[in-house]
Amino acid sequence: SITLDDLYHRYMDDPARNRSQKTVMTYQSVYNVLIDIFGADKSIADIDREDCRQFMDVVRYLPANAKKRFPRKSLVEISEIARQKKMTPMAPLTINKYVNKLSAMLNWAVEEELLVHNPAIGLKVADPVHAQDKRLPFNDHQLQKIFTALSDKSGAEYWVPHIGLYNGLRLNEICQLNVEDIIVRDKVWCFNITRETDRGVDDKVLKTKASERIVPIHPQLLELGFMRYLKQFERKPRGKLFPDIRVGTTGYRSDIFSKWFARFLKSIDADGDRTSFHSFRHNFRDALREADVRHEIAMQLGGWADGSRGKSAQLFYGKGFTMKAVLTELKKVDYVVLNDITAITHQCP
């Protein structure tokens, strides 16, 4: 048998696993809790179901930014303090993420024949909020406030929200775009959402396999002057499309922009319960339904896995859908509530 410390380092050093910096940081947090509870020298053969439940119970009561708030306390002590004081704990989704990472390490130990079985399998806390209710689309009043206020912005602050609404891209997909990711396919200007990098900055990550896709740029973005914005990069085509967006501590460019956007919403009194930048994707999905966009194309546009067929929307590309056909469907996406606001073409710097 090997120790917890050995397991962690051997698992993280496995060359067959590719992890983002954000995922590595989560594993580091899991390791810190394990060492606090059991010590680095505990044999993994001695870990049983009760130990895994103890781990989960400590994590259950940890508040956000635990170590920053109690720098001189151990995580076990912080958990107990937070429980007694009834402090707001981390969300069930985050707690289950910690437990899943522990289970993944123990699964790996089983695969490597270091353990007979995984004592953490199936362990989780109940989440009272259904997945589809965790985020809501922006209502019409919020959309009007947001895009009225954005008319005074430029660069990333202007374009990232517009792309989020009209093309439904995830925030990090937008923030990490290279200039080279704006391409022409079938005589249509498109976003190339990909991990691959030819000339630009090689730091892109995608959420799922279905996330990798090519989608037409919504005509409304072209109407607002997106190509004028792109023109400034003609002499420097090797960089980021939004070079002012810096990389966060997790390695994601979306981190810093997400915080800016949250402050922006609050400053214009457009923040609300369960709304954030990700709400644009909910608006986009509703707009696709409202316009009766063909299902396969809707899945491709959003980079969603097509659960109804057990396939990803990516598999439909190349089997009859040209970018012109996809653009025809994307043109149906319209937000009537914003028509007066976007009537005046935005003048890019």
Backbone angles phi, psi at 178, to 5 degrees: -90, 160
Same domain for 190 and 119, yes or no, is no
Above 70 in pLDDT, residue 347? no
Let me know if residue 320 belongs to a domain: yes
Which residues, other chains included, contact 140 with Cβ-Cβ below 8 Å and sequence gap of 6+?
337
Same domain for 114 and 190, yes or no, is no
Which residues, other chains included, contact 122 with Cβ-Cβ below 8 Å and sequence gap of 6+?
none
- Identify which has the larger pLDDT, 258 or 251: 258
Same domain for 243 and 328, yes or no, is yes
| Overall average pLDDT of the 143-161 stretch | 96
Q: 233: pLDDT confidence band, cut at 50, 70 and 90?
A: very high
3-state secondary structure of 138: coil
Let me know if residue 348 belongs to a domain: no
Q: 249: pLDDT confidence band, cut at 50, 70 and 90?
A: confident
Same domain for 170 and 297, yes or no, is yes
Instruction: Report the chain's mean pLDDT, rounded to a whole number.
Output: 90
- Identify which has the larger pLDDT, 190 or 209: 190
Above 80 in pLDDT, residue 49? yes
Distance CA 288, CA 75 (A): 46
Backbone angles phi, psi at 188, to 5 degrees: -120, 130
Above 70 in pLDDT, residue 314? no
The last residue of a domain, from among 128, 153, 178:
128
What are the tokens at 42?
């505990």
| Overall average pLDDT of the 213-219 stretch | 97
pLDDT of residue 150: 96
3-state secondary structure of 294: coil
What are the tokens at 304?
């969603």
Least confident of 32-41, 147-156, 224-233, 317-326: 317-326
The last residue of a domain, from among 69, 94, 128:
128
Among residues 147, 175, 148, which one has the least CA distance to residue 162?
Answer: 147
pLDDT of residue 344: 52
Distance CA 310, CA 22 (A): 28
Let me know if residue 307 belongs to a domain: yes
Distance CA 130, CA 284 (A): 20
Quote the strand ranges of the chain, DSSP E. Answer: 182-185, 188-193, 213-216, 305-306, 311-312
- Identify which has the larger pLDDT, 148 or 340: 148
Let me know if residue 173 belongs to a domain: yes
| Overall average pLDDT of the 14-22 stretch | 86
Specify the DSSP element, H or E, that contains 202.
none
Contact 144, 75 (CB under 8 A): no
Domain with 311, as residue range(s), is 133-338
Same domain for 211 and 137, yes or no, is yes
Above 50 in pLDDT, residue 348? no
The last residue of a domain, from among 128, 153, 171:
128
What are the tokens at 242?
């939004």
Same domain for 103 and 8, yes or no, is yes
Same domain for 186 and 314, yes or no, is yes
Among residues 79, 117, 77, 73, which one has the least CA distance to residue 98?
Answer: 79
Residues composing the chain: 349
Let me know if residue 344 belongs to a domain: no
Let me know if residue 347 belongs to a domain: no
Q: 310: pLDDT confidence band, cut at 50, 70 and 90?
A: very low
Let me know if residue 16 belongs to a domain: yes
Q: Which amino acid is it at 104?
A: A
Contact 218, 211 (CB under 8 A): no
pLDDT of residue 131: 59
Among residues 146, 142, 150, 164, which one has the least CA distance to residue 272?
Answer: 142
SS3 content of the chain, % helix, strand, coil (to 5): 50, 5, 40
Above 50 in pLDDT, residue 19? yes
3-state secondary structure of 317: strand
Distance CA 64, CA 85 (A): 14
Q: 221: pLDDT confidence band, cut at 50, 70 and 90?
A: very high
CA 130 to centroid of chain Cα atoms: 18
Same domain for 198 and 155, yes or no, is yes
Distance CA 332, CA 292 (A): 8
CA 23 to centroid of chain Cα atoms: 12
Q: State how many domains the chain has.
A: 2
Same domain for 186 and 120, yes or no, is no
Q: What is the pLDDT of residues 58-114, one digit of tens each?
A: 999 999 889 999 999 999 999 999 999 999 999 898 999 999 999 999 999 999 999
Same domain for 196 and 237, yes or no, is yes
Instruction: Scan for tokens 């409202």, then name that residue.
Output: 290
Distance CA 108, CA 16 (A): 11
Q: Is 203 exposed, middle or buried (0-12, 13-18, 19+ CB in 10 A)?
A: middle
Let me know if residue 343 belongs to a domain: no
Same domain for 203 and 121, yes or no, is no
